Structures are given as C-alpha cells and as structure tokens.
Amino acid sequence: MQELKFKTLKDIAPLVEEYLVPEIQDSVEVCIRSYQDDDYNDMWIFGTHLWKNIWNRFESATRYEDCPFDVCGKGNEYKLKIGHYVLRHHRINQESKLPNGAKAVKAAALQLSLFSEEWAPPIEIDNIVLAIDADVENGLIEVFLGELLPQDLNSKKYLWIKKVPVWSANVTDVVNTAIVRIPAISEIKKHVAVEPIPEVTVELDNTEINKKTGEGNVEK
C-alpha cells in the first residue's frame, strides 16, 4: 500500500516538489503581476488571494490520476492528504518563519501535543504545514514542510519541531529540471497614490446668436 512508503516528511518532500511547488510558483507569479498591473492592489494580494489561488491549483492538480495527493476534510477545510500526513498550506512571516494565522493547524497541533509521545502511523498527523515564503519583491523564496507544535500546553507561541526543505531559490543545483524557477524580481513598480481628477466648473453661454448675421445679443 502507498501509505507504507511514507514514514517521514522526507519521504513526501520530493512529491511536494514535483506536484505542488509548480502550482505555488505559478500562483506567486500571478499575484506579482496582479500587484504590478493595478495601483489599487496592495499586499493583501499576498494574503488571502495568494492562499486561495494556490488552493484552487492544488485542488485541480489532485484530479489527475498520477497525483499522489488527495483533498480531504469536510466542507472548506482546505487540506491535502498523502499517506498518513495531512498538509495545510500557509505563507510564513519572513521574520519569525511561522504562519501568522493558521488557526486550524495550530488547533490540531495543540491536540497532538497532548499525546505526542504516542502519535505514530497509521494515525493521521494533522499538524503539518506546507510553508511558503514569498513576497512581491523577490518572488518565491522558499518552500518547506514543517511539523508545528506549541511551546507548551499553556502557550500561544508555536515552533517547528521538524522542518524538511523542499525548494529554495538560492539552490543552484536543481535536481528536478522540469520545475521552472521564478527568478527574484529586481525592479518592482512602486505603487503611488492616484491623484483625483480635478473638477472643472463649466458655465453655459446663454448668448443668443443670430444665425443670419452671426451677431449675438450681448449688451454693448
């Protein structure tokens, strides 16, 4: 069975690179173009828009027969499953290298930490994040898999207890040449405030013109 092949996160990292990273790259490129094309777009486009755009691509990719990932969960839980691992994708904060939101995965991580000593396959591991580091100036910087847990049961701070690199823009030795690397963007159009068009008051000329003589009724 396929599940027996995936004993660690390292086992699924090549499949994440092959099937999911190209979708992430395309989505980041689309968001950069959207940001550049419209002065009214701001960094929100690298928040919910990027996240949902990536998910729509993931969902489409799972429909191919050779894709090892499946959509799982109820309703709009936005989870992928491969073997006993459940993946949720999130853009990470560039300073902390942790996801800012990710309420669902953090709740799952808290539950897992209650009995993490006994947590092993074939029970689903539900605290795995497909972490995406990307911004409008540099494009896609890094993708990694991380197992998230709270620092302690009473803490609202989280940390990675496992991290497995999947893709990095700084790596020149590319194993999978089929994946197109999006280069860093050196020149980004800076968004400026759009100046309102000034209102011009137009006064109608009520002068009556004599069509024959071309003379008006203006008082002299």
Query: Bridge-partner residues for 209, per DSSP?
Result: 216
What is the C-alpha to C-alpha distance for residues 134 and 142, in angstroms, rounded to an integer? 7
Parallel/antiparallel/unpaired status of strands 158-168 and 139-150: antiparallel
Q: Whole-prediction pTM value? A: 0.74
pLDDT at 86: 94
pLDDT < 50 positions in the chain: 1-4, 121, 172-194, 209, 211-220
Query: What is the reported pLDDT for 73?
Result: 84
Q: Mean pLDDT across the chain, nearest whole number?
A: 79
> What Cα–Cα distance (Å) separates residue 143 from each residue in 95, 152, 169, 209?
15, 26, 9, 75
* pLDDT value of residue 23: 98
Please state the domain extents for the chain: 2-168
Pairing state of beta strands 85-91 and 125-135? parallel
**pLDDT value of residue 135:** 92
pLDDT at 211: 47
